[in-house]
A = this chain, B = another copy of it.
Amino acid sequence: MARSYPHPDPGEVELFQVLAALSDPVRLEMVRTLASRDAVNSLDLGPHLAKSTVTHHTRILREAGLTCTRPEGRACWISLRRDLLDVRFPGLLAVILASATPA
């Protein structure tokens, strides 16, 4: 049976939760990586991190509504929910990415 991961509906996504998800340097860097790609293998989001740490951070991003997690075999592909973010919080992603210092 395929794994599935719950994603909040657009109307459930709250600004303060999105900001909380982004209030961590590791997750900010993950979002920066995701912003330049369509989808990223979750392990490539934290090549120097333990798998459990990557899972922890990608879960917070997903539950906040920032990302979509799509399982494929033993891998998970992560992508930004750009359409949702652009509608709910216009300009937020661009401003935060522009402000974030590269790691």
| A→B interface (CB under 8 Å) | 15-17, 19-20, 22-25, 28, 88-92, 95-96, 98-101
Question: How many copies of this kind of chain does the complex include?
Answer: 2
A102 vs chain B, min Cβ distance (A): 12
Contact of A99 among B20, B28, B89 (CB under 8 A): B89
| Secondary structure call for the A interface | helix
18 example contacts (A-B, Cβ-Cβ < 8 A) are as follows A15-B96, A15-B101, A16-B22, A16-B28, A19-B20, A19-B23, A19-B96, A20-B20, A20-B24, A23-B23, A88-B99, A89-B95, A89-B99, A90-B95, A91-B91, A91-B95, A91-B98, A92-B99
A25–B28 Cα distance when bound, in Å, is: 21
